[in-house]
Structure 1
Amino acid sequence: MSDVLILGGGIAGLSAAAHLARHMRVTVIEAEDALGYHSSGRSVSFSHYGIGNAAVRGLTAWSRSFYEAQPAGFCDTPLARPVPTIYLAREETLPALEALHAEMARFTDAVRWIGPAEIEALCPVVRTGAGQAVKAVLDPTGLKLDADALLQSFARQVRAAGSEILTGQRIAAIEATGEGWRVRSEGGESRTARILVNAAGAWGDRMAALAGVAPIGLQPKRRTIIVVDPPAGTDVSAWPFVHSAGGDFYMLPEAGQILVSPVDEVEDDPCDARPEDYDVALAAHQLEQYTTLPVPRIAHRWAGLRSFVADRVPTAGFDREAPGFFWLVGQGGYGLQTAPAMAAIVEALITGSAWPEGLDALGVGPAQVTPDRLRNGSAHSVAT
């Protein structure tokens, strides 16, 4: 019998497991054969202050030190590399960019306004001028994260502590016992533990239903990415991560190619997400609208699910109606950049240790992440 069973081998489950394995025996159960197969493995893997609300930015800020100076022995390669980010505004989206600048400036004093000339110097293919980008906000502190290195390094920590990770184990049944929880896989394997951590991503509410626990309103939303080649002979390695203030486009240079998204949020069921033709075409269209780049072909395409609760803040905490049932869900598109903070929160809440130092000062306390907020009608008023 383990002390803790964690359902889900994505970044949320593995980072929490690594922290908890310092104190107790942990078993991670992942449905797929590979860790991080769904959301974590399909993210653009970036840390920046341009997405989320105040609570998400606070979690991101707290997590930055982990990525900027990773713990000794955690990984043999760098977890992050600096990549600046710019947020473009046309005349009609300037109010949105002004609001975004104010929010970002609460967490970093590095952000500043730039005009068309500097936009073009940073990324010469961005369309500027009449009807196009007239101003932008530059954040030079963006970090491109190595998602695979993160997942595998947290997994090594779990195993090195004597805990275990099981893959290819789809859950068929969950039941409360007198001593905790029992989980049975479709193959008939059974595991028990005092505490059950639901880190199942888009499947979080379904796992809760199997356990007889009321859902908290998770909504998976599909996000589409295409990969295109730059014009022959064009070096894109120094280009920034480019976003539109209108929230309908981004592009990121990666390994000599360009990742592009229409920043879609299409409601979907928990599934192995696949890109739809319309969203793929929209991504290509938006690239041609915001830049001078043609799209003669699409080299690759994929989609992933980003799951949100009502207030779009990652959720961690025990369910008040189900003793020993712990929620760790709703990471949205922020799971990688907030993982260090969320793992420290899980460690504090499960072991009864002190709240992570410095998080309160960043505007994140237990009230911001507790699942209770989603059950008492106050989700929309917390951490906005």
Structure 2
Amino acid sequence: MQSFDIVIVGAGIAGASIASALVDAGVEGARILLAEREDFPGYHTTGRSAALYSALYGNETVCALTAASRAFYLAPPPGFTDHPLLTPRGCLYIAGEDAVGELDALEATAQRVGARTTRMGAHEARAMVPVLRDELVSAALWEREAMDIDVHSLHQGYLRRARAAGVVLSTGAELRAAASEGDGWVLTFGSAKVRAATLVNAAGAWADEVARIAGVPTIGLMPLRRTAIMLDPPAGADVHRWPAVIDAGGSFYFKPDAGMLLASPADETPSPPCDAQADEWDIAVCVDRVQAAAELPVRRVARSWAGLRSFVADRSPVVGRPAAHPGFFWFAGQGGYGIQMGPALALTGASLLLTGKVPVPLAERGVDVAALSPDRSQLRQAD
């Protein structure tokens, strides 16, 4: 039976990033296993992301982690990737008369995290995205430093960095059993068993399932299905220069993507952990909402898909060891923000795993152990 110091369950962006961060933290001589239930990492949520970096998207903890991730994105470690992780896009948050207060809240977030924004009226917003309807857009907030994220390069960079340092990646390795033994675990993956001193739960939508297998209290994780579709751009329109457009009220977004428009109704339909598929009703809702705000003739839906965004009650990530199970480490509940805040969250996770503390630069941004803890009162209320 092989023995590892750390076994990480899940090799999507969560598991891959914390594996890489542990390596960067200098865990010399430690044996680390990265176990993925699918045949290749990133099959589920990681591979289905809208891939936008916006420091205004999410709650206070998420936005602080996102802002702190910017430096990594702009200057990743040498050899991490051959391509830029961020490319200019910009993001236009739009609001009708009944949702202007949402723009005020976004401006307050921008001031808190140091993001540069510009408030503008409907005429200025239409100058940027000419298809926006005047009657439904009364004001907007322009986040100029929002960027497109190369999710594939980010994910592969993490995996490459981890494997180069000796992390063992095992695919097709679904956790079947986890038995506490002394100060560690005996874990069963298919017919194979391994020993682990620490079990890191980075299983995304399946994270509560992993906890149940290990006999650890769950965190009330809620996988929520989100739909995305690809649309043809309007005839003759140069959409390449358009920013991402997000409804400040949270009812839809669209952005240029590979010469087309990626759109979503920002739906959050409860779902069991699964290989999520787009629902015809959600596709129709997406088309209706986008067309209500923009003059976008939809002749066809070129492609559709869905992914699961997994949240807990307070919509902040869950990172840390439960007091009653110190050999178990949560790295879950990242919702739809796991990519944009990934670098800073991985750094935080590695630090909490090794020292029990949040790194000082992140603590100075307001990232707090208590806000991430699996023992926080908000989670117990959710149960």
TM-score range, shorter chain: over 0.9
For 1:1-384, list aligned pairs within 5 A. Answer: 1-21=3-23, 22-23=26-27, 24-128=30-134, 130=135, 132-186=136-190, 188-352=191-355, 355-374=358-377, 377=380
CA shift at 1:354, angstroms?
5.6
Checking the alignment, whether the CA contact within 8 Å between 1:216 and 1:374 is kept in structure 2 is no
Contact 1:38 1:304 in 2 (8 A): yes
- How far residue 124 of structure 1 moved from its aligned partner, in angstroms, is 1.0
Q: Return 5+ residue gaps in structure 1 as ranges.
A: 380-384
Q: Which amino acid aligns with 1:33?
A: D
In the alignment, the residues of structure 2 paired with residue 116 and residue 154 of structure 1 have an alpha-carbon distance, to the nearest angstrom, of 41
Q: Provide the C-alpha distance between the structure 2 equivalents of 1:148 and 1:347, rounded to a whole number of angstroms.
A: 22
1:43-70 Cα shifts (integer Å, max 9, x gaps): 1111112321111111111111111222
Cα deviation for residue 108 of structure 1 reads: 2.5
1:180 touches 1:194 (CA, 8 Å); kept in 2? yes
1-structure distance, mates of 2:249, 2:102 = 7
Distance in 1 between residues matched to 2:11 and 2:164, nearest whole Å: 16
Query: What is the CA-CA distance between 1:109 and the residue it aligns to?
Result: 4.8
- Name the % identity: 43
Offset of residue 179 of structure 1: 3.9
Rate the CA distance shift 1:109–1:155 in 2: closer, same or farther, 3 A. Answer: closer
- 8 Å CA contact 2:219–2:380 kept in 1: the answer is no
Taking the aligned partners of 1:258 and 1:101, their CA distance within structure 2 comes to 26
Query: What secondary structure, in the 3-state scheme, does the structure 2 residue paired with 1:337 have?
Result: coil
Quick one: structure 1 residues 12 and 91, their matched pair in 2 at CA, closer, same or farther if it must change by over 3 Å?
A: same
Q: Take 1:46 and 1:250, find their aligned partners in 2: how far apart are those partners?
A: 11
The answer to whether the 8 A contact 1:347-1:353 is kept is no
What runs of 5+ residues in structure 2 fail to find an aligned partner?
none
How far residue 237 of structure 1 moved from its aligned partner, in angstroms, is 0.8
3-state SS of the aligned residue for 2:331? strand
Once the two structures are superposed, what CA deviation does each residue of 1:57-97 show, in whole Å capped at 9, x if it has no partner? 11111111111222222111111112110111111111222
Matched pairs, number: 377
TM-score (norm 2): 0.95
Paired AA for residue 340 in structure 1: P
Cα deviation for residue 197 of structure 1 reads 0.1
Q: In the superposition, relative to structure 1, how do residues 375 and 83 fare at CA in structure 2: closer, same or farther (>3 Å)? A: closer
Answer whether contact 1:20 1:26 (CA < 8 A) is retained. Answer: no
TM-score (norm 1): 0.95
Q: Could you list the runs of 4 or more consecutive aligned residues of structure 1 that deviate by over 3 angstroms after TM superposition? A: 374-379
Q: Distance in 1 between matches of 2:5 and 2:110?
A: 40
